[in-house]
Each structure stands twice: as structure tokens, then as C-alpha cells.
Amino acid sequence: MGQDSEHDMDDDNRKSSQSTTDQSKQTFRNVCYGQLFAVIVFAIGLTGGIFIGIYAYHGGPDSEKTIVCTNNQNAKGDGQTTKVPLATSPSTNGQGEAKKECPFDNPVKDTIYEDYVYAPLTVAEMNKAAKFLLDNSLISTLDAPTELTQSFILYQVLSPPNKAEALVYLDKYGSKPKRYAQVTVQRGAATPPDVMEYKVGPLGEATMTAIPQMKPGDIHFNSRPYESLEVVAMTKILLPDLEILKTLISESFDGATYPRDFYFNFFNGPPSTSGTERKTRWNVILSGFDKMEDIDLIHMLPLSGTVYNPGTNTSEWYAYDFHYLNQGPYNTSQDLMDAYNNDTIRKVKFPKGFRNTLYDRVFPKRDSTQPYRKNADKSGPRTYYPDGPRYEVYGTQVKWMDWNFEISGGQIRGPALFNIKFRDERIIYEHAVNDISLNYATDTHAQNNIIYADATYGIMGGDYPTKIMSGIDCPEHGTVLNTSYWWHVTQKAYSMESVCIFEADGQESSWRHVAYSFEAGLRNRHLVIRTPVVIGNYDYTFESHFHLDGKIFTYAKASGYIQAAFWDESNPHSPDKTRDAFGYRLSDLATGPVHDHMFGFKVDFDIIDKDNTFEIIDWKAGPQIEALKSQNPNITKVPDYFIYNETRYIQWNKVDKERGIKSPDNQGFMLVVNEREKNKWGVERGYQIAPLATGSQALKTHPLLNALSFTKYHCVVTKRKEEEQTLTSIYDVNRMDQPKSSLDKQINGENILNEDIVNWITVGFLHIPTTEDMPMTVRVETGFMLRPFNFFDRTASFDMPQYAEKYDGSLKESEPSFEQCAEPDNY
């Protein structure tokens, strides 16, 4: 979503304040959760080879544990003391003695990312690229920039190797592709100012080059992503207006003053549709938190306007278009104040004391007015590795149960995987998050018409570092990998905890059967690669699950704070006081605007080799004769054994030209096959692409469809090209009238039979916020499944140790046995 406050951006010292915040958060967590978990472990083995570790509180029947939750950060939140009655400890395993710890071999075998061709850029590499640009005068500073007329780095990501070269290296022991950074430079010092991208490297060598990826001026300065200097400058411009509007603000919003109680939100994008203008809508938001960077976007105040802010000369910028309770536009704050003073406009008056209730409304702590549910004082189920981890991590390469792939990604587009192989056969070359599109509608001046393309803000560490919460995002035994990001505010690179790797116990069957004389099944386990990211108010968690049978599930999950809008009780458009045309009322002064989250992925299948074919299996229904004739046109008579006069049948259509598909349009299976690779029965080996529950783009003519055309489809198949790396350009959302690299432009009639093809997969959800989004959106998810489709000769997972038993005793198979052990305290 890309939200930020001016405080945040203002703070040159953000990282140190960040780490203080983190530390206090850490302390808070340790105090509140740590004690809950710091208990004696009893591992109880259940029969049937099922093993679940259960924690129990160690205490007598009447003992109580006092949990002190202090949040020093927040003066508004009083420290709380909660008494949790303790569960009685369950009967132990008889002896009551502690078991020995389970073995744990660190799965991380190598930590040098630079050795891996797809590894995300490291801090050292970013520093090296940055210094090279400075030494060659391609940027004007490596200190925190203070003027828009400086040239400085916005983003740095890995520039992935040329695929042809990479394949020679991977498959034929050719030379290893060198590592390059793709560096985005905001060039305020250029005439005219613009944005440029450079490919800088090779990063491992003494002699480097910086190859421009576009011509100067190609990217107009006014279509750049939002950045901190303009936020600081716009805030300065608006401060006199806040002074003029002081009485209005104080009387309307329960005595609120700036900067104590509210902050500016400038990112109600885009700044123009032309890309050559720049006008930034702002509004102000009451903060529920003590630190203004901790934005919640719930209590939007009905005071908003626009700053005209093109170019680099801030003396030419001005504020105009003031709105109060949707009344306006007033050309100046004084005009608005005059109207307010002479009582010619509608006013709002927040209840006295409202501001003091904000912390309790938005801070995500346990509702202490509610009693504990029965048994909620007992620790929930947990899983662990009785024989230690079964995966290995070499730098950024992961190996598990014949799966083998490399972790990649960067701060602009988020997480990615490369070179995904199963049993030494390549299935996917690249599997990457590309962009997230959101569009909001509401009946307010400030919050309506908002369009985000999150890659423009940076999906993984654009503004907000990622961080793995142990025990929440990642089991304590999971492996955490760091990735790096460049922060334009300080012009420095930072490392952050981004990727969690663990093997999950599905606690279900992968397959099962119970017969009269036997029973058999496989307990489902899968490897999870999880990356939670924060984009302003929202948190997205991206996951890929690798299964034993060759399936890959990919999920995009959303949580965090919704971007609310002001609920105007007296809105003349809305007689209904519970909802309006754009959403529900969610609290005294907030409504939840309807919006969508559409996630665009790039999936470059290389089934065995790079040249593949896209095929759609159509589900048909009709008379039998039609079905039979589809195979042999000579058939004239339907045999009598077809009872009904309508039947299902299927039809195969290879797609010969680049094309976009909206999934509900046809009841089809989407496949990628290799025409030259057949299974035992002569069938082309392939994978199915199956979207999970997904919404569709409802807009038909909206200008965003030009720039974010990927949202019109669920799957677009195009011929792979080095110069068509992604499904959006990060500048296009800021120049929607003339997008330069929209996905629609990649659909241009090229032959895709037996070619290196890319599938651009879009899934998403429509979000109508309800009271269950308060204070926090509880995980909403979408995704897609990639499923082997005649890829193997038979189910791939039958090589796994499994459970099978003939009742006559003639056959018994089981999973490996293990010794009962306790989950280690520290992994």
C-alpha cells in the first residue's frame, strides 16, 4: 500500500530509532509471550507413529503465573498485569523425568550469498555498486540527500543473469554468470531531472561498468515513485496552513494539535495520470500510537487537500484544493477558515475524550475485558523435528526431498525463486512475485480514487524492513535468511530477516485408503518458504509450499491495518447510517472503503527444457455424437450404452499465439507441456496452473487498466524475452495515460508453440472491510497451485516411507521410527 508519514521520512536516524523500537518490541514480546512459553516440556508420543510435542505449564493445581505486559513505548497504553490461571500439569509419561533434547544439525551449510547466481544482493554488493556510481558521478551524494536537486539511489536489486548464459552454466558446466546490481537513480541534478536505471557490475570484480538501461529523460521526473524529500517539503508547505486552520482542527477533532496527535498522509496516489504533472493529495490522520511511524490509517480526519509539487524547485510548489468534511474545494486554507468561521459550512465535532480512546481502538493487544476461553491458558499444539531438519540450505540454495531451488528477490518486486528442480529435472526457471495492485472507492475527498501498484513503493523493504517474528511467522526451529535493501533516506544498505524456511507437518493424509484386508496412507509433509513483508499499513505474506508429490502451492496472504476512510454521520448522500455505496461503517468515525488486492506473479516454466507449449483443456458438455466426432468425424451413430443424451467430454487446444485468459470465462484447465517429453504412455509431460479462490478485475474502462493491465486476466502467456522481465513498469502507475511496459503490450501476436514461454498469473481478492477487520485484518488469502499433469509415470510420492498394513500380517510398512525427545530450547 505504500503509506508513510512525514515523521518517518524526516528521521535521518531512522535505523537507530528503528532498532531501539525493535528492541523495545522485542522486550515487549519477551515479557508477554516469553514467559508463557518458558515452561517445562513434556513430549508425549501418541500411537500410530504420530508424534506431537505438547507443552504444559509446570505448576501445581492452584498455581498462577503473573504475566506483566509493559509497553514502555506507549505512554497511552498503561502497563497491564494479567493473571492467567495455570493449567494443571497433565500426568507425565509415568516417570515424570525430562526427556533428552532432539538432535539438531544446523541445516545452513554455507552463508556466502555471493557464490549463488540468483542470490539477492548483499549489503556489501549494494555498497560497492553505490560507491562506483558516486566515483563515476552518476549520483551526486552518498550522504542522506537534503535537496531534490541531488541525484541519489532509490532502489537496488539483483539484475538476474541472462537466461541463455545461466542455462549454459547450470546445464553444461559453462562459466558462471557474473553478478550485477540494477540500481534506480533519482536524478534531480540532471537537466531535465529524471529517473535512470543502471546495470552495475560485475560486482565481484575490480573493474566494473554502469550500463544505462534507458535514455536520459525516458522516465519523467514527475512519474517517479514517492520519496522522502518531497514529503518533507510538502509538510513544510502545509505547516502555515495548519496554523491558519488551528481552531478548526482543535474544535473539530477533540483538541488535536500537530504534531502531537496527527500526521500527514501524502500517498493517496497516483500523483497524476499523465506522468508529466505532479499533484499530491494529502489528508491528516489521528494517531493511535505514540510513535508516528507506527501508522494505522484507521482514524482518517475529514481534512484534506492537494499540493502541487512538480519538478525539483520547491519554491514553485503550493497547497490548494482544501476540503473539510468533503466540502470544498477551497483555494486556500484561509478561504476554508473563513467559511468555517462564518458558519456557512457543515461541521463535525468529535466527542470529547475521543483521542484518549484511540490506543485501545487500534493497538492489537488482547482484549482484557474478555475472560479467557476454556483451556486457553494451555499451550496449543506444536510440531518439531524428532531427528533434526530434513532440508539443507547452501547460501540461498535449498534442498529437500529431491526438491532443489534457489531463493532470490529484491526490494522492488519482492520474493522470487529460481531454477526449481525435482529429481534433477527442471520444472520452473523463475517463480516470482511481480506487483500488487489496489484500487479504493469511497465517498470522501481524500480516500477515493486511490490506486497503488506496490512494486512502485517497493514490496520487500521499500519503506519498511521485513522482519520474521519467531513463533508467529516461523516456527522456532525454522531457518531465517536475510535479504538486503537500500534505504534512499540514508543512502545506505541494510540487512533484514526476510525468508523463513521450514518443513511443515500437514497433520493430514496426502493419500489414504482403508480396504477390507489392508489400510495404507502417507502423512503429508511439505517444505514452506515464507516471506512476510510490510507495505505501510498492510502486511503481505508470500509462501511457496513444495509437496512430496510434485505440487507447488503459492499463497499471497494479507493482514495488517485497513486503509479506512472518515465516516461522515451526516453525509447528505447517505441516508443509511450503517453503510454507504462503498462499504460498511466500522466504528464511530471510520468506514471501510471497498478495494481489491490483485497479485501478479511471473512463472517461467521450463518443463525439462525451456521450450514448452501452453494448452487449455476445455470442459465441454453436449450430445454424445459431438463428443465422439471430436475424435473421429466419421462416426454417425451413438452406441446404445450412452444412456443420457448429454455428456461431458474434453477438448484439447494448444494456444499458438500470445494471449490473456480470464479464468471464469472458460471452465478450462491451463497446462504447460513439453511436446518432446512424453511419459510412459506417450502423453506429453506437463504441469497444470490452477488458481485458488480468486477475484477478478471488475473495472471495465478505468484508466488504471492501461498501466495495470495484468489485473484484467488470471493468466497471460507470452514468449519469454530478456527485455520483458516483469508484468509492470514501476513508473506506469504514475503515467497511466501512456504506460510504456504494460503487460498488454507483451501480448502482440507472437507464436508460442514450442517456445520459451512465461505465464503471468494474477490472483487476488475483493475486500469489503467489515468489523472483523478491526483492529486488524485477519488473514485473507489467495494463490495458485502448480500440479504435475502426466509429468510422472505414476504418483511421485510412492518412493517415500509410508504406512501400509495387511491385516493378515503379511505386510507392514511404516515411517522411520524415532526416539522420543524434547524440542530443543534454542535452535
Ligand X SMILES: *[C@@H]1O[C@H](CO)[C@@H](O)[C@H](O)[C@H]1NC(C)=O
Residues of this chain that bind ligand X (CB under 6 A): 313, 315-316, 318, 320, 331-332, 335, 338-339, 342, 344, 482, 495-497, 623, 632, 634, 645
* Choices 84-92, 245-253, 399-407, 759-767 (CB under 5 A): range interacting with Cu ion: 759-767
Q: What are phi and psi of 360, to 5 degrees?
A: -65, -30
| Prior bond of 769 cis (ω within 30°) | no
- CB 684, CB 753: distance < 8 Å: no
Q: How far is the CB of 626 from ligand X (least distance, A)?
A: 10
Q: How far is the CB of 329 from ligand X (least distance, A)?
A: 9
594 vs 736, beta carbon nearer Cu ion = 594
Position closest to ligand X via CB: 338
Q: How far is the CB of 447 from Cu ion (least distance, A)?
A: 13
198 vs 457, beta carbon nearer Cu ion = 457
Residue 575 has a CB neighbour count (10 Å cut-off) of: 7
339 vs 617, beta carbon nearer ligand X = 339
75 vs 643, beta carbon nearer ligand X = 643
Closest CA to 418 of 410, 409, 466: 409
Whole-number Å distance between alpha carbons of 148 and 226:
12
Task: Please report whether residue 187 would count as binding Cu ion according to CB under 5 A.
Answer: no
Q: How far is the CB of 15 from ligand X (least distance, A)?
A: 9
331 vs 748, beta carbon nearer ligand X = 331
Q: What are phi and psi of 602, to 5 degrees?
A: -110, 125
99 vs 445, beta carbon nearer ligand X = 445
Binding map of Cu ion across residues 710-749, x = CB under 5 A, - = no contact: ----------------------------------------
Q: Any bridge partners for residue 611, and if so which?
A: 756
91 vs 344, beta carbon nearer ligand X = 344
209 vs 645, beta carbon nearer ligand X = 645
Which pairs from 357-360 meet CB under 8 Å and 24+ separation? 358/76, 358/286, 358/287, 358/288, 358/299, 359/74, 359/76, 359/77, 359/288, 359/289, 360/77
Q: How many CA atoms, within 13 angstroms, populate the side-chain half-sphere of residue 210?
A: 18
What is the number of H-type helices and E-type strands within the chain?
13, 41
Q: How far is the CB of 111 from ligand X (least distance, A)?
A: 7
Q: How many CA atoms, within 13 angstroms, populate the side-chain half-sphere of residue 529?
A: 30
Q: Which bin fits 700, alpha (ψ -120 to 50), beta or left (φ > 0)?
A: alpha
220 vs 767, beta carbon nearer Cu ion = 767
Contacts of 789 (CB under 8 A, 6+ apart): 669, 671, 673, 686, 687, 688
* Residue whose C-alpha cell is 484500487: 439
Q: Report the site for Cu ion in 105-124 (rule: CB under 5 A).
A: none
* Choices 223-231, 515-523, 670-678, 764-772 (CB under 5 A): range interacting with Cu ion: 764-772
Whole-number Å distance between alpha carbons of 821 and 135:
57
- Report what 645 binds from Cu ion, ligand X, none; CB cut-off 5-8 Å by kind: ligand X
692 vs 768, beta carbon nearer Cu ion = 768
- Report what 683 binds from ligand X, Cu ion, none; CB cut-off 5-8 Å by kind: none
- Report what 335 binds from ligand X, Cu ion, none; CB cut-off 5-8 Å by kind: ligand X
Q: How far is the CB of 125 from ligand X (least distance, A)?
A: 13
Q: How far is the CB of 596 from Cu ion (least distance, A)?
A: 8
227 vs 497, beta carbon nearer ligand X = 497
* Residue whose C-alpha cell is 515424570: 96
DSSP state of 170: H
Whole-number Å distance between alpha carbons of 356 and 639:
79
- Report what 315 binds from ligand X, Cu ion, none; CB cut-off 5-8 Å by kind: ligand X
Whole-number Å distance between alpha carbons of 94 and 497:
42
Q: How far is the CB of 451 from ligand X (least distance, A)?
A: 27
Position closest to Cu ion via CB: 767
* Choices 19-27, 131-139, 766-774, 815-823 (CB under 5 A): range interacting with Cu ion: 766-774
Q: How far is the CB of 390 from Cu ion (least distance, A)?
A: 36
- CB 160, CB 418: distance < 8 Å: yes
- Report what 342 binds from ligand X, Cu ion, none; CB cut-off 5-8 Å by kind: ligand X
599: its cell numbers: 497479485
333-341 vs 228-244: helix axis angle to the nearest 10? 30
Q: How far is the CB of 784 from Cu ion (least distance, A)?
A: 19
Closest CA to 238 of 347, 317, 295: 317
Question: Exactly one of 413, 477, 585, 767 binds Cu ion (CB under 5 A); which one?
Answer: 767
Closest CA to 296 of 263, 256, 260: 263
- CB 483, CB 409: distance < 8 Å: yes
- Report what 497 binds from Cu ion, ligand X, none; CB cut-off 5-8 Å by kind: ligand X
Helix (H, G, I), strand (E, B) or coil at 194: strand
* Residue whose C-alpha cell is 505514540: 290
Q: How far is the CB of 332 from ligand X (least distance, A)?
A: 6
Q: How far is the CB of 648 from ligand X (least distance, A)?
A: 15
316 vs 825, beta carbon nearer ligand X = 316
Helix (H, G, I), strand (E, B) or coil at 12: coil
52: its cell numbers: 506431537
- Report what 623 binds from ligand X, Cu ion, none; CB cut-off 5-8 Å by kind: ligand X
Q: How far is the CB of 4 from Cu ion (least distance, A)?
A: 18
Binding map of Cu ion across residues 342-361, x = CB under 5 A, - = no contact: --------------------
Whole-number Å distance between alpha carbons of 567 and 580:
10
645 vs 748, beta carbon nearer ligand X = 645
54 vs 625, beta carbon nearer ligand X = 625
* Choices 166-174, 264-272, 512-520, 767-775 (CB under 5 A): range interacting with Cu ion: 767-775
- CB 417, CB 603: distance < 8 Å: no
Q: How far is the CB of 331 from ligand X (least distance, A)?
A: 4
- CB 720, CB 604: distance < 8 Å: yes
Reported as type and span, the H/E element at residue 803 is strand 803-806
* Residue whose C-alpha cell is 506431537: 52
- Report what 137 binds from Cu ion, ligand X, none; CB cut-off 5-8 Å by kind: none
- Report what 345 binds from ligand X, Cu ion, none; CB cut-off 5-8 Å by kind: none
- CB 408, CB 429: distance < 8 Å: no
- Report what 767 binds from Cu ion, ligand X, none; CB cut-off 5-8 Å by kind: Cu ion
206 vs 693, beta carbon nearer Cu ion = 693
- CB 429, CB 160: distance < 8 Å: no
Q: How far is the CB of 21 from ligand X (least distance, A)?
A: 12
Contacts of 250 (CB under 8 A, 6+ apart): 256, 257
Binding site for Cu ion (CB under 5 A): 767
